[in-house]
């Protein structure tokens, strides 16, 4: 995700900013920039798409920009593709104010329209530039920078960590945050702001954590923190006690683990800008209820884990839309002479937006006249550019080869889209719509609670890591979730594993069950729990060791049959796979850890599959 650093002190700022940005490279980014101010040269802004090295080359390691006050940013695109102009810092029209931003401004379009009406010209497509321009607008009204910042913060909605410098306010950095982390660092050579301790740990371990809606004024001499109504706040200082080497993955042992832990925050980002006044609002879907009525066929097309999202969504969309929904592997769809025409909606799902089979399937669908809608994580990727409509998952950069947070955000976005389309068609009862939406908003906290204590999953991984073959069984949404759990296990631990619809076992697979075979029994789908249990009894009868996954209300019944049980929080049935899958990701992770596997870069696999 994006990274922020700011410095004001007694040394040249640019080398410090470049060094701090380099330490946040692990977060992933697609462009970077710095803004430095000096008395003689004013505000100097340099930014570029691509690697940090390109930025460093542009400013000759910092030698080309002069000044002891500055801000820097690594961007991971959310609004507007990766490009030089969309990179931060963003500068106001007069060139007086430069700003870096992490987060998403939810009402940026409305503010942009307001500013356009007042003659403001924009150079980028970003929500962040809107904040810089709005700040200048208010500054021109009140001629007081702090007052202008306060007015902006009262007007913007969404999440932000902001670092601001202004020519008329030459000795200070201004920082503010809401729902996006920002810390203040107190150093010998000067003071800092940063979105991530790693950026400044080389210079100081003395930090203060900003709280939501606080504003900080940082100078070379000190730091003042205020509440939103400018009441001074006395902050507690913390000493960072971990080593710089632990910081490469933000303190986590693996990117996969970090990304698992980031899921509550990632899905919050996916959800919150898209729910307004009790309704799902998808500004980027440009087809109407009439268009939707005309679609006689709906396909969901993807590869790997993205395909597994499609399998879950097929069940959910059929329930919500009362339409037949087909889910296809992109590599099969493209060569299947698919029955697709102008009355077909084809939804493609891809984290990278570059998967060749998915891309080719989408092109084939378009060639046959279908309307295409892409669910993509990487902004400006090929699939995102070519689809008729695109919805971004906003999961942030995913570095581990095994997807976790991208899967979860895709699933959540498909749930939102399902509700949205059902609303257009009028196929969902209000009570059901409201119930899913309410529980969707509660989901990030439920997931966080699960992630706050999963010692049992770790223990079961240590108990079962030696198995050579594992079967995941379940019905309906549990089966769909099992497909992903099984893929996670096989790709990172190299254990052979398969997912089966429980009802299929008797048609062949049950012959593979012998004493000691590990079966992961998924029993979270209440409507079919009894049926699923009878299949668990069948494998138990043949000597299987059963590790079960269920919810609290079903725990007691499950524990009577299973050898071990993992319990996840209960939610609306449509959303239940989003909570269950997190336990399966963790199980795969800890099994792979026990087996000493290269978790982030499993053998033979690539993050983005751009070949057939
Ligand atoms: O970038 P995409 O979502 O299109 O990638 C699709 C698959 O290659 C991907 O999900 C793959 O299966 C992952 N390694 C699963 O963890």
pLDDT tens digit string along 345-381?
Answer: 999 999 999 899 999 999 999 999 999 999 999 887 8
Distance from Cα 591 to the centre of ligand 1, integer Å: 20
Is 350 touching ligand 1 by the criterion CB < 6 Å? yes
* Nearest-atom index, ligand 1, CA of 406: 3
Distance from Cα 609 to the centre of ligand 1, integer Å: 8
Distance CA 402, CA 394 (A): 17
Give residue 54's pLDDT: 96
Residue in 303, 592, 597 to alter for ligand 1 test, most ligand atoms within 8 A of Cβ: 303
- Calculate what percentage of the chain has a pLDDT beyond 70: 98
Q: Which residues are catalytic?
A: 2, 607
Average pLDDT over residues 219-240: 94
Distance from Cα 381 to the centre of ligand 1, integer Å: 15
Distance from Cα 306 to the centre of ligand 1, integer Å: 6
Sign of CA dihedral 337, 339, 344, 349: negative
Average pLDDT over residues 184-195: 96
This prediction has a pTM of 0.82
- Model confidence at 245, pLDDT cuts 50, 70, 90, reads low
Average pLDDT over residues 248-252: 80
Residue in 304, 397, 483 to alter for ligand 1 test, most ligand atoms within 8 A of Cβ: 304
Residue whose tokens read 């307004």: 276
Of all protein residues, the one whose alpha carbon is nearest to atom 9 of ligand 1 is 304
Give residue 28's pLDDT: 78
Is 329 touching ligand 1 by the criterion CB < 6 Å? no
User: Chain-wide mean pLDDT for the chain?
Assistant: 94
* Nearest-atom index, ligand 1, CA of 383: 4
- Model confidence at 303, pLDDT cuts 50, 70, 90, reads very high
Distance from Cα 359 to the centre of ligand 1, integer Å: 13
- Strand duo 169-178 + 183-186: pairing: unpaired
pLDDT tens digit string along 520-577?
Answer: 999 999 999 999 999 999 999 999 999 999 999 999 999 999 999 999 999 999 999 9
Distance CA 128, CA 162 (A): 9
Give residue 402's pLDDT: 96
Give residue 1's pLDDT: 66
Distance from Cα 53 to the centre of ligand 1, integer Å: 28
Is 585 touching ligand 1 by the criterion CB < 6 Å? no
Task: Please determine, for residue 179, whether its predicted confidence score (pLDDT) is greater than 90.
Answer: no
Distance CA 538, CA 114 (A): 65
* Nearest-atom index, ligand 1, CA of 303: 6
Task: Please determine, for residue 463, whether its predicted confidence score (pLDDT) is greater than 80.
Answer: yes
Query: Bigger pLDDT: 247 or 322?
Result: 322
Of all protein residues, the one whose alpha carbon is nearest to atom 16 of ligand 1 is 402
Neighbours of 543 (CB within 10 A): 11
Distance from Cα 85 to the centre of ligand 1, integer Å: 30
Is 355 touching ligand 1 by the criterion CB < 6 Å? yes
Is 304 touching ligand 1 by the criterion CB < 6 Å? yes
- Calculate what percentage of the chain has a pLDDT beyond 90: 88
Distance CA 354, CA 611 (A): 10
Is 493 touching ligand 1 by the criterion CB < 6 Å? no
3-state secondary structure of 444: helix
Is 372 touching ligand 1 by the criterion CB < 6 Å? no
H/E/C letters for each residue in 187-223?
CCCEEEEECCHHHCCCCCCEEEECCCCCEEEECCCCE
Residue 35 DSSP one-character state: E
Residue in 306, 354, 605 to alter for ligand 1 test, most ligand atoms within 8 A of Cβ: 306
Task: Please determine, for residue 449, whether its predicted confidence score (pLDDT) is greater than 80.
Answer: yes
Is 126 touching ligand 1 by the criterion CB < 6 Å? no
- Model confidence at 382, pLDDT cuts 50, 70, 90, reads confident
How far from 343 is each of 148, 291, 340, 425, 550, CA to CA, in Å? 51, 9, 8, 15, 40
Q: Which of 161-165, 181-185, 308-312, 493-497 has the lowest mean pLDDT?
A: 181-185
Distance from Cα 349 to the centre of ligand 1, integer Å: 10
Is 381 touching ligand 1 by the criterion CB < 6 Å? no
Residue in 399, 603, 609 to alter for ligand 1 test, most ligand atoms within 8 A of Cβ: 609
Is 404 touching ligand 1 by the criterion CB < 6 Å? no
Average pLDDT over residues 204-225: 95
3-state secondary structure of 170: strand
């Amino acid at each position: 995700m994006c990274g922020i650093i700011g410095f004001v002190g007694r040394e040249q700022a640019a080398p410090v900013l470049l060094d701090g940005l380099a330490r946040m490279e692990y977060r992933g980014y697609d462009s970077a920039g710095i803004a430095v101010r000096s008395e003689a040269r004013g505000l100097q802004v340099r930014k570029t798409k691509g690697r940090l090295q390109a930025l460093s080359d542009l400013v000759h390691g910092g030698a080309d920009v002069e000044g002891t006050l500055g801000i820097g940013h690594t961007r991971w695109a959310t609004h507007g593709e990766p490009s030089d102009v969309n990179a931060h810092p963003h500068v106001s029209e007069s060139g007086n104010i430069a700003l870096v931003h992490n987060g998403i401004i939810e009402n940026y379009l409305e503010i942009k329209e307001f500013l356009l009406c007042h003659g403001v010209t924009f150079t980028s497509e970003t929500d962040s530039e809107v904040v810089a321009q709005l700040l200048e607008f208010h500054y021109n009204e009140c001629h007081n920078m702090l007052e202008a910042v306060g007015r902006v913060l009262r007007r913007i909605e969404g999440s932000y960590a902001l670092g601001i410098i202004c020519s008329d306010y030459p000795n200070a950095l201004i920082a503010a945050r809401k729902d996006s982390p920002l810390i203040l660092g107190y150093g010998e050579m000067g003071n800092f702001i940063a979105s991530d301790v790693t950026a400044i740990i080389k210079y100081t371990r003395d930090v203060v954590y900003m709280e939501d809606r606080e504003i900080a004024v940082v100078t070379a001499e000190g730091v003042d923190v205020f509440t939103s109504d400018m009441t001074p706040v006395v902050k507690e200082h913390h000493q960072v006690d971990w080593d710089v080497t632990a910081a490469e993955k933000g303190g986590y042992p693996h990117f996969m683990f970090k990304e698992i832990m980031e899921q509550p925050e990632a899905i919050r980002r996916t959800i919150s800008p898209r729910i307004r006044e009790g309704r799902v609002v998808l500004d980027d879907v440009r087809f109407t209820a009439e268009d939707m009525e005309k679609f006689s066929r709906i396909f969901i097309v993807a590869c790997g884990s993205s395909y597994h999202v499609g399998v879950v969504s097929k069940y959910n969309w059929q329930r919500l839309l009362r339409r037949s929904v087909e889910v296809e592997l992109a590599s099969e769809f493209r060569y299947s002479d698919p029955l697709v025409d102008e009355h077909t909606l084809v939804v493609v799902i891809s984290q990278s937006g570059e998967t060749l089979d998915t891309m080719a399937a989408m092109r084939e669908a378009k060639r046959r006249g279908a309307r295409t809608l892409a669910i993509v994580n990487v902004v400006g990727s090929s699939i995102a550019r070519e689809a008729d409509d695109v919805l971004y998952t906003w999961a942030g950069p995913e570095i581990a080869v095994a997807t976790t947070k991208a899967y979860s955000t895709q699933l959540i976005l498909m749930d939102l889209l399902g509700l949205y389309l059902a609303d257009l068609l009028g196929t969902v009862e209000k009570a059901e719509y409201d119930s899913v939406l309410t529980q969707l908003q509660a989901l990030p906290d439920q997931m966080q609670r699960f992630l706050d204590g999963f010692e049992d999953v770790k223990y079961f991984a240590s108990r079962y890591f030696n198995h050579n073959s594992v079967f995941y069984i379940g019905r309906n949404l549990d089966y769909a979730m099992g497909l992903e759990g099984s893929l996670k296990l096989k790709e990172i631990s190299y254990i052979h594993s398969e997912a089966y619809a429980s009802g299929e076992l008797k048609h062949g697979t049950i012959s593979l069950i012998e004493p000691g075979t590990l079966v992961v029994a998924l029993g979270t789908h209440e409507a079919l729990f009894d049926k699923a249990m009878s299949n668990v009894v069948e494998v138990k009868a043949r000597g299987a060791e059963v590790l079960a996954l269920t919810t609290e209300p079903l725990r007691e019944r499950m524990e009577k049959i299973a050898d071990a049980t993992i319990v996840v929080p209960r939610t609306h049935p449509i959303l239940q796979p989003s909570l269950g899958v997190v336990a399966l990701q963790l199980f795969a992770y800890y099994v792979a850890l026990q087996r000493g596997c290269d978790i982030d870069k499993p053998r033979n696999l690539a993050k983005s599959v751009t070949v057939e």
